[in-house]
Chain A
């Protein structure tokens, strides 16, 4: 049975809108990617990770560099000027059209992945709705087609890998994930889930834990080795691995990425900020340097006035610790549904507790969760605050007046259309739902409206340019509350299944 509107129809709708967005605001990420086109096209591979004419050095893994090299082969026929490393900030209309068009083209992978996902799903109706929600996701629209990045294509690969796992093609799934990891290392957040799942379901016997499937281990090992060699081999040969590593994992940057990512550390910073005023009364020691820095939160390095400093290794340990319970359940119950749940929970931990998390990383949580949330009404209940919080937290990415109506109207439209249809589609759960969570999400969603109004309109009118960090802090704290509560809510659902 065909379902309407079909995936293709929605893709045509979305593409029309995306082409019309060509002249919209573009962030420095546009220049970042143009610079990478230039680097990969005009320099030998040995210079790729050393080149620093532009401040936007290459800091993605090699497969992404190869991808840029591939694009540059077409770019030279469009406007060869964009391929000059020296041409900083070059943005002729040909360059803009070309780069924007490559984002749209690379999303064909996402389209194929979603098509395949619907094909293999048991419940076509809910899978179709989830696929449309991902295809039309405001997160992808804001980040890829306005702000400028290539997430659509990479989430396509991730969904394809998840689909392979559901088809029991575990080798293919694992190798595709390894390749994806060599393209963008943000997917390391979910590596533990992949590791445990492949270990248990592919390398060990799903029935008897101690029965090692030796041949599978060899296949997987050799496959991963080939992929890693293809990606990092040349740079190992050139002896550039330490340099490459320092580019990929810049721990010299601060704990919070410009205050925006709505995670635990944003709440921690917010608490610290509040403590500055409370500390006087409690006679707590205050770090005066941190108080005096007016731009706090806008620059990378955040230091705390009252609360203790956080180190990178503390964040790693915390991330792993919070992932472990979900992984244990996955190890004991290695079925595709639990795997998807473990991916989502690993992504949650990575987003909530990691070092220097970008606000864009929320998509690593939202997109796997979108595939899950139509399981039953309890899943949907946990998803709702995330849907609102995750997308609202992306709003500060676009701060220009012209793009304000686009981001807000599109997101609100998406939330209405999909939350209402999900409500109709999600089957009732066999277990009791949590009254509290349902009420919470209603109140939570309602608060979003005055918050957005304040941050985008009222604050500007009252304070003009002063206290710019306040709207950012409100947005990220509000969103953090939503993300954390949906995380807790989903954990209850996951562990009680």
Chain B
């Protein structure tokens, strides 16, 4: 570089086609009419139209973050799960309760205290997070988190505080992670920064995430944020940081396990190809182990310290996992508290004692159960069947990632594996649909991500996913935010039921006929379902008819999403000979 001694960096010149990626014939976002005028392809493009080309990212990004923040906060002024519904209330009370126990109880009691009332059943990072939030909340108003007496509290300011904690946690983890991921992904895929901003808004306005975290009340975005950080680090080739982020995701919510096979296959693959690299393998193994150790350290050290202080742990019931150990553990030995905490937390985090699915969830088992009751089999048989089905479903994407650990396959791999888990695994909640939706939605930032075909598929998965959450949201009295946020997101991306623009084949990169038929019939089913659910009472002997119908349509649609992700993965990995970049299903 000529100006190496000069303190001034030469300004990066903007390439002429920097803001309209894609070929000269037309891009995925801008339509050129016959008379040469340009027109945005869907409303979200129109909203970012003034920012095309000339506006600095330093101005655009804060505006985007403020807008999506407003929608989040405004969703939060609606009700939350379990509002004024004794005796057990809901997820809001669960989270509030964990703040309460984290600040008032010694560490060794966290996983043992009154398990009947929303006992802690998330990994330690959630507990530490609760502790910090509890300390801050306690400084503002101690009565919100008073031990025992604060149960079921629904003070308005407490709600505002709790909503704020979700928002702040999200802005610390999820949002920077998505921003960084999108920036790296568009660089890697050769997408312009303007189109990257369009994708960013679409990703951050995902209705399901907004409704569950800011409406229903949970902290899923923290875990999803760590998972996105992991992917962003992998994209940059920063494998070890990626591992640590993934351990954090797992340490916040065990549901991040949905991604684990993809992470494992990618890492293992990257140790073998292009050449076998034992150093990398060892460093991955060591980093991951160290990260797990660091994750559990405060809990275990806290337990040891409590024993040293003389906090009795004799009253704590022995977890089944500990009794199942092949040797006899002496309850007087120094390591007993450590083992006790470890086994109890694992026992709490992985509740195999519960049924195969909770409530009605749109996956394989609930679908089979509708036609053939699964109670007939012992839980061991069902568990084995779930294990076998999940393994079969995750095997193809994992093999591809293992054989071709390529960065552009990462979001596809994460999405396919997460769909496999959602559809086939054990103990799935309807809210877990957020896990496959995140990597699938990230595809919008990829090459051709805003073309009608990928937009239609991502939109289909998101709208179907949000629709399967409707029975839950209805219970929380969140129908209005559900309709507004879902329809608004569909409108932004030009998707049914607000527009059919993605389904008109005026340009290349459109959907195939079969996909169009499937999508539109599912959209039609969703609309009809809403009409029936609202106006037609279910027959008396089948009170759950509408919910079951929802589950069946949802499971079918998700199955198709799984197949599409897998197909795209195969296509992108180049197994079918020519790498067909533009022709997609």
A: which residues have CB within 8 A of B? 1-2, 4-6, 9, 12-13, 16-17, 19-24, 401-402, 405-406, 409-410, 412-413, 416-417, 420-421
Contact = CB atoms under 8 A, between A and B. Distances in A.
Interface stretch (B11-19, B61-69, B323-331): B61-69
Given A413-B67, A416-B59, 4 more contacts: A2-B39, A5-B49, A12-B43, A406-B74
A402 B156 contact: yes
10 contacts: A2-B37, A9-B43, A12-B488, A13-B47, A16-B487, A20-B485, A23-B78, A402-B77, A406-B73, A413-B70
A417 B55 CA distance: 11
B352 interface: no
A22 B480 CA distance: 9
Given A19-B484, A410-B70, A12 B77 contact: no
B50 interface: yes
A417 B63 contact: yes
Nearest to B159: A402
B341 to A, nearest CB: 38
Contact of A409 (B69, B156, B485, B491): B69
B123 interface: no
A273 B157 CA distance: 34
B75 interface: yes
A417 B49 CA distance: 13
A118 to B, nearest CB: 16
A21 B63 contact: no
Contacts of B46: 4-6, 9
A13 B69 CA distance: 14
B484 A20 contact: yes
Contacts of B59: 416, 420
Dominant secondary structure at the B interface = helix
Contacts of B157: 401
Contacts, number: 76
Nearest to A13: B47
A338 B457 CA distance: 55
B49 A4 contact: yes
Nearest to B73: A405
B290 interface: no
B66 A412 contact: yes
A71 B93 CA distance: 40
A416 B77 contact: no
A406 B160 contact: no
A401 B160 contact: yes
Contacts of B47: 4-5, 9, 13
Contacts of B66: 409, 412-413
B71 interface: yes
B82 interface: no
Contacts of A402: 77, 156, 160
Interface in B501-525: none
Contacts of A413: 63, 66-67, 70
B71 A20 contact: yes
Contacts of B67: 413
Interface in B38-96: 39-40, 43, 45-47, 49-50, 59, 62-63, 66-67, 69-71, 73-75, 77-79
- Which one of B39, B47, B485 has the highest number of Cβ atoms from chain A below 10 Å of its Cβ? B47
A97 to B, nearest CB: 8
A421 B37 CA distance: 22
A142 B66 CA distance: 17
A452 to B, nearest CB: 15
Report the 4 A-B pairs with minimum CB-CB distance, sorted nearest first. Answer: A4-B49, A4-B46, A20-B74, A16-B488
A21 B480 CA distance: 11
B481 interface: yes
Nearest to A417: B63
B75 A421 contact: no
A416 B58 CA distance: 12
Given A2-B39, A409-B70, A20 B75 contact: yes
- Which one of A5, A17, A409 has the highest number of Cβ atoms from chain B below 10 Å of its Cβ? A5
